[in-house]
Chain A
């Protein structure tokens, strides 16, 4: 099984996701291009996590279509995702990484060296043998990022990567995201931390109530939102 040359651009065409009688996503058409990180902004319940799961290929939309680099291939090979609450396997820190590497098809002979390299990349080398479930929230998030990077992704999806983290842990996670971006990985991240989107992202998808309200470059979005809803969201009003 050969990976396609590139999974980018990701094109969502008129995507809808329905759960029972409720529309989680409605008529979402978007293109994710190579380049600076994309922030998916919006209030809670806007459909940010669902959008990420659809774009990552983990969730089949009820309507519309998704293509990666022009193909509708479902293989996850070039994509990785870190969930809002990553689940640590009941193994050591290194064990978690070794499993992710093996699942990604890393040859056994290269595995040990790759584990050390990834741990260094997220500054967890000292916690090598620690049970992963005993790590702090920030450390778990960094390990989850390392597991995702183990897949050597072309696109990295992050769902609220610094939710509930203290400033120091947030800073560490953002450094890893910057590093991933600098190494050429396309980052797509859901966040409701506007400051974080400002700090990290090049463009913004603003979602409300399951629909895309506005897409714009980050600088434009934050200084001159084109829609009333986005302006209200940036002011801190409750947007439904």
Chain B
């Protein structure tokens, strides 16, 4: 129990190194989710509304990509960004940017696949009405994205969940450098293996609290939106 006690003290005293780690973790995972949304939503919407040969295969591959093993993506990004790799000249390896890239690659398929399903379901429901209203294709996409916005918010949460919980990929491409690329998850892994359980537990508690808080905020937004729009 003394470990738990120390953990709470670290949190309550506002330990500077702890908060730096929390800040970086949030920054990296939220940036990754934003990038994944910018790529995933339009791609998902496009895939929901178009028909072409091989579309089923694309959907299967996309859905399978939701389960990409993080360490493999970490390795791939590592090879791309390492000094001798094709993007080595960017000098991004072992930086927060590299971690954002790796997490965005992990989150984008989740956002795209779930958005595709959500938008396609709504399209099946709306299709006849939107056609009868004479809505242009652009207006149709706008209506679908807007009316699915509450469900798409949950899609973003699923993506954020993966990004926030991620450890393998960010460890490989970030390097877990103290004060620079150390996130909550990599710090927990490190402190646990070092035997500094109080810090690990404190970080764990903070991580869970943040995830719960963000889910709470989004739930509130959803409920409010549902009351307004049904």
Which residue numbers of A lie inside 8 Å of B, CB to CB?
56, 58, 75-77, 80-81, 83, 86-92, 95, 99-100, 102-104, 131-134, 147, 151
The answer to whether A99 touches B230 (Cβ under 8 A) is no
B residues 194-230 in Cβ contact with A at 8 Å: 226-230
A92 contact set on B, CB distance < 8 A: 228-230
| Least Cβ–Cβ distance between B115 and chain A, in angstroms | 16
Q: Is B1 engaged at the interface, CB distance under 8 Å to the other chain?
A: no
Distance, CA A91 to CA B143, complexed state (A): 10
B136 contact set on A, CB distance < 8 A: 103
The answer to whether A81 touches B132 (Cβ under 8 A) is yes
A89 contact set on B, CB distance < 8 A: 126, 129, 143, 147
Q: Report whether over half of chain B's contact residues are helix, strand or loop; otherwise say mixed.
A: helix
B126 contact set on A, CB distance < 8 A: 87, 89
| Least Cβ–Cβ distance between A5 and chain B, in angstroms | 19
| Least Cβ–Cβ distance between B116 and chain A, in angstroms | 19
Given contacts A89-B126, A91-B147, A102-B139, contact A134 B133 (CB under 8 A): no
Q: Is B125 engaged at the interface, CB distance under 8 Å to the other chain?
A: yes
B residues 144-178 in Cβ contact with A at 8 Å: 147, 150
Q: Is B57 engaged at the interface, CB distance under 8 Å to the other chain?
A: no
The answer to whether B230 touches A132 (Cβ under 8 A) is yes
Nearest opposing residue in chain A for B132, CB measure:
A81
| Least Cβ–Cβ distance between A122 and chain B, in angstroms | 16
B133 contact set on A, CB distance < 8 A: 99-100, 103-104, 147, 151
Contact pick for B134, options A87, A88, A90, A104, CB 8 Å: A104
